[in-house]
A and B are shown apart, each in its own frame.
Chain A
Amino acid sequence: MTAYALRRLAQMLPVLLIASFAIFAMVYAVPGGPVAVIVGENASPEEIAEVSRRLGFDRPMLVQYVDWLGRAATGDFGLSLHSRQPVAHLIGERLPATLQLALCAILIALAIGIPVAVASAVRPRSWLDRVLSGWSALALGVPTFWLGILLILLFAVELRLLPSASRYVPLWAAPLEALRSLALPALTLGVYVSGVLGRFLRASLIGEARADYVRTARAKGVPERRIVGLHIMRNALLPFVTIVGLMMANFIGGAVVTEAVFTYPGLGRLLIQAITTRDYPLIQGCILVILIAYMLINLAVDMLYAWIDPRIEYR
């Protein structure tokens, strides 16, 4: 198992290399460098050239890339061009906010998704199943930014119960304030994920229910509740873990739109801000972190999978 993990980690390296180079090249090709933003509107061409030289943007791209890579390998992502703060520090500030939102959203999704899936899988094609499947379809189809707008209209504009904009408040620092701030964005994301989870879990529950071992158990007279609760659920949960992990991985950088609707200070918004200001080191740092997080979570999910289900062998 350890060997497997190590091999997987080794496989991640080329992907990271290709990705970081691709991103570097792409960002490099973007018109409108960062220098103009740094020097401000009233700068002279000489000043622009000078700043460009000082920051090393006049060197060939490949040289800049190797230079950056060498330092990134030691954990030094450089300084943000815009704020002159260490990139690692900026990312470190946003990561907890992103994780907190992702976790809350997943919890909401589980709270909605599991009951929905179980209730509809117990009697497939019943009216209840149709209604609940409809819910899953709706949760998946409604764009998060539209749902966000509707929630703001209802809870902030009409009822004035919750803020339409969210801040990051650590849950342990001020739980109530944090929940108030998190409620709408977490609900928005959670509803979407509940659709994914609900639909997925229902399919695998129904699939498992048709499996041979269930038939055997029934024939043996094992109580139905025990069959569903123990056998079916346990086996259906396996692929379910994968999906939850994937969703989590996606949220590290992919909740941008929800973050934008509620102006939540997550990693995705930091990256967007970096792209608009052409903050090269920040863009590269953010993307690298998002990639690594994605891959590590994927790996963790696979390991967990093996731990739950010893039948899976790793060659």
Chain B
Amino acid sequence: MMKLSRRQVCMTGLALAGAAPLLAAGAAAAQQLKGGTLRVAVLSELANFDPQQLSTVNFHVIKNLYDSLIEYTPDGKPQPGLASAWTIAPDKSSVKLTLRDGVSFHSGAPFKSDSVLATLQKGADPKRGKNVFSTMSIVKDWSAPDERTVVINFKAPAPERQILDLLQFLIPIDPKGIDTVETIPAGTGPYTLVNRAVGQGLTLKANPKYWREKQPIAQDLVFTVFSEDAAATAALESGAVDIVYNGSSRSAVRLKGAGYQVFAGPGPLVQVFRINSTRGPFRNKSFRQAFNHLMDRASILRVGYAGMGKVVALPWAPASPAFDEGYTKAYAYDLDKAKKLIAASGLSADEMKGWKLLVNGSDEPSIAISQIVQGSLQKVGIPIELDMRQGAEYVTALLGGDFAATFGAVGNVQKFPSRVTTNSIYRTSGNPILKDPHPHPAYVAAIAKVDAAAGGEAEVKAAYDNLNRVLVDEAFGIPTNSYDVGLIVASGKIGGITLDIDNLFVARTIGFK
């Protein structure tokens, strides 16, 4: 199991993502790959090097500068990482980790339990924990019996999958560099930072003391930041880069037609039409439910994401344990059903309009799909306007809950279902949009039930079913489709692509044929 070949990894990954037939990846893994300088085009400038501030903008560097305690295969099987072994206590209230021997940080300091403790401490700190903080909420305390062992205790028995998710999310940071980790990476990863030109890119070189044998294959790793998708693909076509990472689905489809290799990981995002149920007509449940049927999901998927992905009515990727295909059909695009629900709401025509759909003007797909929804609303007699905001202004409105409705993708949709609560609209407490007390207690209860389901399979299944029912009934988030984030488009001479469960970019196995 531990020696799962790259070929299997790629195959499962592609199959899971519903992507096209396997390309030459299998053959590539079999033959010897050569090293060299790997040139990668990325579409976002990274925010900083803190692995606990994981977001799509730094997806391309984290797995190359750092290692996790454990890894997942694309189909969700745990694999040893910096923890060479782990034992979950029978009562599921603690986990004991054995740390890998002979690993050192880029600074030269040996990897020991103190770094895991420092990392846990940072994660549990509300100010420094960033997006690891919410995942740490199940943790009570931790200890290190010796230099190679760490024990993490939980507040209550936790489902196994939730424990594994935590370990996979924990990336040990060098204790000496933990305070400056935003600007100076402090990991054990296969590459070390050479330099960074903000807005333009960064250069990494192979870590000669890396612990995984014969990795990394490429000696140099150069990322170039492109602000536009078209520019990145042009660079690939002209041979200026070898790989485009995190480009648009549309370009991927076109390049695939032109003979390039396309890899889609198992950790897609789900686009969600977020509804602020504390405002105007959206306080009315029947009116909200109409939106389950107002989403022309097929068109949204086609125009926004070139058809790459799946239409969904629940915020789960197909790999999620809570995924349920039946809901997609039951809550399909149907203007008649929508009209009936709108009529049942008892709202007057005036009450139903007068709100604006907030749009992220920096995101091309959002602009297109928001116009599709606007068109559908027009058809059922609800004329609305779009409120376009750029960059920071959009983020502020999104975070402050200063909107009536908006499209926003959610992540962590392939993991333990309650991980969806890391996304602001699905947060159960301190929800910045819906505020406290949470206006949908049924939803809060359903999440709590999932978290408490540490028992048998039937109990877990019942908890998931209940959550799904509540999600479409409360209808404050209307998922429309899953789509690929971190798509990899590579020239034909590239081989050895490894897919990551979160679709992060993993360069250490990549080489030239």
* Contact (Cβ within 8 A) B131 A165: no
Which chain B positions have C-beta within 8 A of A47?
126-127
Contacts A85-B198, A276-B362; A32 near B397 (Cβ below 8 A): yes
* Contact (Cβ within 8 A) B234 A156: yes
Give a binary string over B425-438; 1 marks a CB under 8 Å from any A CB, 0 the rest.
00100101000000
Which chain B positions have C-beta within 8 A of A160?
237-238
Query: Distance in Å from the Cβ of B422 to the closest Cβ of chain A?
Result: 6
Give a binary string over B15-52; 1 marks a CB under 8 Å from any A CB, 0 the rest.
00000000000000000000000000000010110000
Which chain B positions have C-beta within 8 A of A67?
none
Q: Tell me if B226 is interfacial: C-beta within 8 Å of chain A.
A: yes
* Contact (Cβ within 8 A) A165 B399: no
Contacts A50-B127, A167-B224; A276 near B390 (Cβ below 8 A): yes
Which chain A positions have C-beta within 8 A of B423?
41-42
* Contact (Cβ within 8 A) B235 A37: no
Q: Tell me if A277 is interfacial: C-beta within 8 Å of chain B.
A: yes
Which chain B positions have C-beta within 8 A of A265?
199-200
Query: Distance in Å from the Cβ of B103 to the closest Cβ of chain A?
Result: 28
Most chain A beta-carbon contacts within 10 A, residue among B53, B393, B397, B430? B393
Residue from the list A37, A46, A93, A168 in contact with B395, Cβ < 8 A? A37
Which chain B positions have C-beta within 8 A of A46?
126
Residue of A nearest to B133 (CB): A42
Which chain B positions have C-beta within 8 A of A90?
198-199
A265 to B240, CA, bound (A): 16
Q: How many residues from A make CB contacts under 8 Å with B?
A: 43
Residue of B nearest to A33 (CB): B396
Residue of A nearest to B231 (CB): A165
* Contact (Cβ within 8 A) A164 B234: yes
Contacts A42-B422, A278-B391; A83 near B130 (Cβ below 8 A): no
Q: Tell me if B295 is interfacial: C-beta within 8 Å of chain A.
A: no
Which chain B positions have C-beta within 8 A of A41?
55, 395, 398-399, 423-424
Which chain A positions have C-beta within 8 A of B391?
37, 275-278
Q: Tell me if A34 is interfacial: C-beta within 8 Å of chain B.
A: yes
Most chain B beta-carbon contacts within 10 A, residue among A33, A42, A48? A42
* Contact (Cβ within 8 A) B227 A269: yes
Contacts A31-B396, A34-B392, A165-B235; A44 near B199 (Cβ below 8 A): no
* Contact (Cβ within 8 A) A32 B393: yes
* Contact (Cβ within 8 A) A36 B400: yes
Q: Tell me if A60 is interfacial: C-beta within 8 Å of chain B.
A: no
* Contact (Cβ within 8 A) B200 A93: yes
Q: Tell me if A273 is interfacial: C-beta within 8 Å of chain B.
A: yes
Give a binary string over A278-304; 1 marks a CB under 8 Å from any B CB, 0 the rest.
100000000000000000000000000
Query: Distance in Å from the Cβ of A153 to the closest Cβ of chain B?
Result: 12
Residues of A37-61 contacting chain B, CB below 8 A: 37, 40-48, 50
Q: Tell me if A163 is interfacial: C-beta within 8 Å of chain B.
A: yes
Give a binary string over B209-248; 1 marks a CB under 8 Å from any A CB, 0 the rest.
0000000000000001011101110110110100000000
* Contact (Cβ within 8 A) A83 B231: no
* Contact (Cβ within 8 A) B199 A42: no
Query: Distance in Å from the Cβ of B40 to the closest Cβ of chain A?
Result: 14
A42 to B197, CA, bound (A): 28
Q: Tell me if A84 is interfacial: C-beta within 8 Å of chain B.
A: yes
Q: Tell me if A231 is interfacial: C-beta within 8 Å of chain B.
A: no
A142 to B468, CA, bound (A): 55
* Contact (Cβ within 8 A) B232 A165: yes
Q: Tell me if B320 is interfacial: C-beta within 8 Å of chain A.
A: no
Q: Tell me if B183 is interfacial: C-beta within 8 Å of chain A.
A: yes
Which chain A positions have C-beta within 8 A of B432?
44-45
A163 to B236, CA, bound (A): 9
Q: Tell me if B96 is interfacial: C-beta within 8 Å of chain A.
A: no
Residue of A nearest to B391 (CB): A276
Q: Tell me if A82 is interfacial: C-beta within 8 Å of chain B.
A: yes
Which chain A positions have C-beta within 8 A of B224?
167
Residues of B357-407 contacting chain A, CB below 8 A: 362, 389-400
Query: Distance in Å from the Cβ of A100 to the closest Cβ of chain B?
Result: 14
Q: Tell me if A80 is interfacial: C-beta within 8 Å of chain B.
A: yes
* Contact (Cβ within 8 A) B234 A165: yes
* Contact (Cβ within 8 A) A263 B226: yes
Q: Tell me if A270 is interfacial: C-beta within 8 Å of chain B.
A: yes
* Contact (Cβ within 8 A) B47 A82: yes
Query: Distance in Å from the Cβ of B462 to the closest Cβ of chain A?
Result: 29
Q: Tell me if B134 is interfacial: C-beta within 8 Å of chain A.
A: yes
A8 to B272, CA, bound (A): 58
Most chain A beta-carbon contacts within 10 A, residue among B199, B224, B235, B392? B392
A85 to B197, CA, bound (A): 10
Query: Distance in Å from the Cβ of B216 to the closest Cβ of chain A?
Result: 24
* Contact (Cβ within 8 A) B182 A36: no
* Contact (Cβ within 8 A) A270 B199: yes
Which chain A positions have C-beta within 8 A of B130?
40, 42
Contacts A45-B432, A93-B198, A93-B200; A37 near B392 (Cβ below 8 A): yes
Most chain B beta-carbon contacts within 10 A, residue among A37, A41, A44, A94? A41
* Contact (Cβ within 8 A) B200 A168: yes
Query: Distance in Å from the Cβ of B5 to the closest Cβ of chain A?
Result: 36
Residues of A100-137 contacting chain B, CB below 8 A: none
A37 to B231, CA, bound (A): 25
Contacts A42-B422, A160-B237, A163-B235; A80 near B396 (Cβ below 8 A): no
* Contact (Cβ within 8 A) B126 A263: no
Residue of A nearest to B400 (CB): A36
Which chain B positions have C-beta within 8 A of A33?
392, 396
* Contact (Cβ within 8 A) B127 A84: no
A273 to B200, CA, bound (A): 12
A275 to B130, CA, bound (A): 25
* Contact (Cβ within 8 A) A83 B198: yes
Contacts A50-B127, A164-B234; A36 near B198 (Cβ below 8 A): no
Residue from the list B230, B232, B237, B393 in contact with A31, Cβ < 8 A? B393
* Contact (Cβ within 8 A) A84 B48: yes
* Contact (Cβ within 8 A) A32 B396: yes
Give a binary string over A145-174; 1 marks a CB under 8 Å from any B CB, 0 the rest.
000000000001000101111011000000
Residue of B nearest to A157 (CB): B234
* Contact (Cβ within 8 A) A42 B392: no
* Contact (Cβ within 8 A) B395 A32: yes
A-B contact pairs, 19 of them (CB 8 A): A32-B392, A33-B392, A36-B392, A40-B47, A40-B131, A41-B423, A42-B131, A43-B399, A44-B432, A47-B126, A48-B399, A83-B199, A93-B197, A156-B238, A163-B240, A167-B200, A167-B224, A270-B199, A273-B227
The 9 closest A-B pairs by CB, nearest first: A165-B231, A276-B391, A32-B393, A164-B234, A32-B396, A263-B231, A278-B392, A36-B396, A163-B238
- B residues in contact (CB < 8 Å) with A: 45, 47-48, 53, 55, 126-127, 130-131, 134, 182-183, 197-200, 224, 226-228, 230-232, 234-235, 237-238, 240, 362, 389-400, 422-424, 427, 430, 432
Taking A41-B424, A269-B227 as given, write out 7 further A-B residue pairs in contact, using a Cβ cutoff of 8 Å, ordered by the A residue number: A36-B400, A37-B395, A42-B427, A44-B126, A50-B127, A80-B198, A270-B199
